[in-house]
Chains A and B, each alone.
Chain A
Amino acid sequence: MSSYAAPLTEIRFALAQLGGMMEIAALPGLEEATPDLVDAVLDEAARLAAEVLAPLSQVGDRQGCRLADGAVWTPDGWSAAYRRFAEGGWNGLPFDPAYGGQGLPWLLAAAVQEIWHGANAAFALCPLLNQGAIDAITHHGSAEQKAIYLPPLIAGRWTGTMNLTEPQAGSDVGAVRTRAASEPDGSYRITGQKMFITYAEHDMAENIVHLVLARTPGAPSGVKGVSLFIVPKFIPRPDGSLGNRNDVRVVSLEHKMGIKGSPTGSVAFGDAGGAVGWLVGQENKGLAHMFTMMNNARLGVGLQGVAVAERAYQQARDYARQRIQSRALGSRDPEPVAIIRHPDVRRMLMTMRAATEAARGLAYFTAGLLDLARRHPELSVRDARQALVDLLIPVVKGWCTEQASVVASLGIQVHGGMGYIEETGAAQHLRDVRIAEIYEGTTGIQANDLIGRKLMRDGGQCALHFIGEMGEAAAHLGGGPLARMRANLEVALDKLQSATRWMLLRQDGDPNQWAAGAVPYLRLWGTVVGGWVMARSALAAEAALRGGDSGQRHLAAKLITARFYCEHILPQAPGLAAAAMAGAEAVMALPDEDF
């Protein structure tokens, strides 16, 4: 069975050098996040993750969840572990102290979230969804809804879910049919069926709060007629205590490829006359409100990708160190060596390592932007950072999760035949993380969001400005030892700029032209921002080494990993740009029946 040790040195480096922790801890309201506090929080999270959550990951994969008489049992030990997690106050890390949160930066929350997902991705989904529900109620709930729901959700005594998907409404959220009829007392009666609902029902918390998309009578068709409702499993009384069981039930559990410890279910609302629900925010604005939750969840899913990639890397590295096979290439010594000595195994490990570090850097950078967008004293800075968050969220979600699948697959490859055997645990990482490219919007949906909404809504202003900023960092690499990195990054940035202009030119034409290359374009973004992240890491490591920093080996490794990224991964950029700009002809030409 594999163990997990949170990569604290890496995490601290990424927080400080890429996420901008110093600047963020200076923002109004975040002054508590001093370096010693951040260290103490990370240390304790790492301990809880390694000792309590990580050992349950394989248990969850083996046992899965059980549904009987409408109740769901999570795997052995999960409920007790969740209790420890919630009692430790970890759910409340970034939330408003007025409702029991700790008011710490989202950037720190991102790092801690990575640690939970690295230890046990299926477990960590529960707090991830909860976080999204809290964010949605915080932004759109009434004062009364906040008073009732936020304290127990933030404390983790109750957990939140996100109910969008129906059999006919997957990526097309506007197709939801669940109905909401208003009652004289201001509440609604919800009827309908949802599916793929994560932690829809479980034995870990006192109450479950479903956030449900449904239609009111006479609502416009499509996304403009969808509203958001709170539907609790137990209806809270005004004093917050639990009242009647609501008419909402899990009717089946999905049989999944991975994250088996996470109960995913089909949920029936209103089989016995109507589930009681309350409107959140404005009628027919449900999708926009849900997007508050989605942005949060998409960043979280990107972090889940980073986390599982890290865990797959740790396991592959440990295996490569102890598996003895074949003599070293070019050696006369007949003694076989550990496979970590073989160039192709090293190439795989370096790819895993570099991709994970780049993805972490991108995700932390984006989480840091979220704090700046929410708390910076100047409105113009807040707006600019929010625009960049909006641009990068689909990249974080789409690219980090694709990288995670690549890394987890390489993790199996490093193990050879043993990787295909479930007992080693290498395959679990790939099975677990594969869903991350699908839920909260597939990579295709992310790519369409990136171009159709985020890029085009301001005529590419935010994107082109950020590409310019990245170019400035590239120039800092200079003509010395980092010159090769600089050359590759400049080529990549140039390609990203060309592809971006190409997309913008097709804004008013046939959307198939840009949509056909949307995913390569998203990958191009991820690959290039990853290169920029690695360049910044290299610059920071070089500066620290010059300053006589004590972490010599770690910093030297940073430089090597950054160089590997720029020489072995970043050169994909021109190829991705070519595919992104190839247009729709070859994609759309083949008649449907000839597939």
Chain B
Amino acid sequence: MKVLVAVKRVVDYNVKIRVKADGSGIDTGNVKFSMNPFDEIAVEEAVRLKEAGKASEIVAVSMGPAIAHETIRTALAMGADRGILVTSDEELQPLAVAKLLKAIVEREAPKLVILGKQAIDDDANQTGQMLAALLGWPQGTFASKVVLHSDTAEVTREVDGGLEMVALTLPAVVTTDLRLNEPRYASLPNIMKAKKKPIDTLTPAELGVDVTPRLVTLKVEEPPKRKSGIKVGSVAELVDRLKNEAKVI
């Protein structure tokens, strides 16, 4: 069974994000990038499926500037077999990514696509769902457990009220939550082997996808600084202030 994994290059989770002075976006100069942590979990899950003999090949896909091949290399060092990079210097919004992934799925015909539930840069939490809808495939999002059979998958989902179990008919889309697994450290021999694994490069045009952004970013700004609190004298005063000053109740 072929498994396709989507990996995104994002600003490393340790980096303190700075907004550009002109409000046009965030400052990415000299900032460390790494693989979206949810996508690491997706790669790890695919590698475990392969180690368990349930997956035969893992294809890691990334999209964005040419430098995103580094993120694919990371996936290859973790155990993916080959990579596909769709290069684009244009901003790729979730719908465009989903359409590009759909085109790749149609070429590669995997039985399972695993994605992170969201990327830690824009936290959109849309691509997996959009991809499933575009493909007309079943989806198991926010997975904390995946049990794969030959034609079905049982996915345990983390939902607001607790856990939900769904049974999906393959092919299907799964998006990962934090508790699905703990990603491995790439071993030195595998980092070296990753160098020799192939990465194909494609463009949106070659895949016949129009990636023109549908949304316009008006402005990016820092979240407002938290104001210091005050002490109130009584419950009555608290209720009064919440009602008349803060106007939240």
Contact = CB atoms under 8 A, between A and B. Distances in A.
A422 interface: no
A190 to B, nearest CB: 35
Interface of B: 29-30, 34, 70, 73-74, 77, 185-192, 194-195
B194 A40 contact: yes
Contact of A102 (B70, B77, B192): B192
B73 A36 contact: yes
Contacts of B192: 32, 37, 102
Nearest to A87: B187
Interface string A540-578: 000000000011111000000000000000000000000
A89 B73 contact: no
A84 interface: yes
Interface string A36-58: 11011101100110001000000
Contacts of A88: 185-188
B188 A92 contact: yes
Given A40-B73, A550-B29, A32 B195 contact: yes
13 contacts: A36-B70, A36-B195, A37-B191, A40-B73, A40-B77, A40-B191, A40-B194, A44-B185, A47-B185, A90-B188, A92-B189, A93-B188, A550-B30
A217 B190 CA distance: 49
A103 to B, nearest CB: 9
A168 interface: no
A39 B186 CA distance: 13
Task: Pick from B70, B73, B77, B187 the residue with the most CB of A within 10 Å.
Answer: B187
A257 to B, nearest CB: 32
Task: Pick from A39, A88, A551 the residue with the most CB of B within 10 Å.
Answer: A88
A88 B185 CA distance: 7
A572 to B, nearest CB: 34
Contacts of A552: 30
Given A36-B73, A88-B185, A44 B30 contact: no
Contacts of A550: 29-30
A443 B190 CA distance: 40
A41 B188 contact: yes
B191 A41 contact: yes
A81 to B, nearest CB: 11
A486 B80 CA distance: 52
A257 B70 CA distance: 44
Contacts of A553: 30
A198 B73 CA distance: 38
A34 B185 contact: no
Nearest to B77: A40
A32 B195 CA distance: 9
B30 A89 contact: no
Given A550-B29, A551-B30, A553-B30, A44 B195 contact: no
Contacts of B190: 89
A43 B30 CA distance: 15
Kindly list the 8 A-B residue pairs having the minimum CB-CB distance in the complex, ordered from nearest. Answer: A89-B188, A88-B187, A89-B189, A89-B187, A48-B185, A44-B186, A40-B191, A90-B188
A41 B185 CA distance: 11
A151 B186 CA distance: 21
Given A41-B191, A102-B192, A551-B30, A84 B185 contact: yes
B28 to A, nearest CB: 11
Contacts of A40: 70, 73-74, 77, 186, 191, 194
Nearest to B32: A8
Contacts of A551: 30
A39 B34 CA distance: 12
Contacts of A52: 185
B96 to A, nearest CB: 27
A320 B34 CA distance: 29
A269 to B, nearest CB: 34
Nearest to A48: B185
A467 to B, nearest CB: 37
Interface in A87-121: 87-90, 92-93, 102
A107 to B, nearest CB: 16
B212 to A, nearest CB: 29
Given A88-B185, A553-B30, A44 B191 contact: yes
A43 B78 CA distance: 13
Nearest to B14: A5
A89 B73 CA distance: 18
A52 B73 CA distance: 22
Contacts of A90: 188
Contacts of B187: 87-89
B62 to A, nearest CB: 15
B175 to A, nearest CB: 24
A47 B40 CA distance: 14
A44 B70 contact: no
A41 B194 CA distance: 11
A44 B77 CA distance: 10
A43 B191 CA distance: 11
A6 B187 CA distance: 18
Nearest to B69: A36
Contacts of A32: 192, 195
A205 B186 CA distance: 21
Contacts of B30: 550-554
A52 B182 CA distance: 13
Contacts of B29: 550
